[in-house]
Amino acid sequence: MTHAGSGHEELGVTNFLEEVESQTGEKVRICYQCGKCSAGCPVGYVMDLLPNQVIRLIQLGLRQEVLDSSTIWLCASCETCATRCPREIEIVRVMDYLRQQARLGGHTHAAREVPIFIHSFLANLKRFGRLYEPMLVGMYNLASGHLTKDMDKAPAMIIKRKLALLPSRAKGLHRMRQILKNIEEMRHR
């Protein structure tokens, strides 16, 4: 059986479904497409694929289509879908795995801001061990090109002493760096 869209693609015979299931421990195959996840998704209106469609594409083994979708990035991890799923599939766990695969495979054009944000966030943690918002805003804006985003809030926040002008490094910073380093090494091995 071939996929009319991209003729060469073999429907349902790739091992993508098995991959997702083994990596997430979620039984994606048991989804019977009732659409309750999509019905309740607060972000669904901006997604290119609804959650149930993402699940369906996984069932059919269409890796490319799934990883290229904006949905995996727009998912806000609010857990509404998973909480109401009649088949009790933890969809966020699946989305997480898809996002990780998409970043590894460089499928990040669909909603590029999110991977950039994730990257800035983690960089920020490596730097301070904790979140230092001004620096996060700065890093993210530079990387994403929205130069003044959220800057409008900074003055007020500083007046209200919500933002420290200088970052304070977490006492656990070195541990944070160590942990992230260990994980990177584990990944290379």
Restricting to residues 14-73, name those near other proteins by CB under 8 A. Answer: 25, 32-46, 49-50, 52-53, 73
At residue 116, what is the residue type? I
- Identity of the residue, 8 or 161, whose beta carbon is nearer to other proteins in the bound complex: 161
> What string of DSSP letters covers 132-170?
-HHHHHHHHHHHHS-TTTTTTHHHHHHHTT-S-SS----
Of the candidates 153, 120, 152, which has an alpha carbon nearest to the alpha carbon of residue 139? 120
Ranges within 158-187 binding other proteins (CB under 8 A): 160-164, 168, 170-173, 175-176, 178-180, 182-183, 186
- Identity of the residue, 109 or 153, whose beta carbon is nearer to other proteins in the bound complex: 153
- Identity of the residue, 17 or 114, whose beta carbon is nearer to other proteins in the bound complex: 114
Q: How many residues bind other proteins (CB under 8 A)?
A: 82
Smallest distance, other proteins to C-beta of residue 68, A:
16
Is 5 in a helix, a strand, or coil? coil
Site string for other proteins, 113-132 (x = CB under 8 A): xx-xxx--xx--x---xxxx
35-61 per-residue burial string, b: 16 or more CB within 10 A, e: under 16: ebbbeebebbeebebbbbbbbbbbbbb
Smallest distance, other proteins to C-beta of residue 7, A:
22
Ranges within 68-97 binding other proteins (CB under 8 A): 73-74, 76-80, 82-88, 90, 92, 96-97
CA angle 31, 84, 15 (to 5 degrees): 25
Number of H helices, E strands in the chain: 11, 0
Ranges within 133-162 binding other proteins (CB under 8 A): 133, 136-137, 140, 144, 149-150, 153, 156-157, 160-162
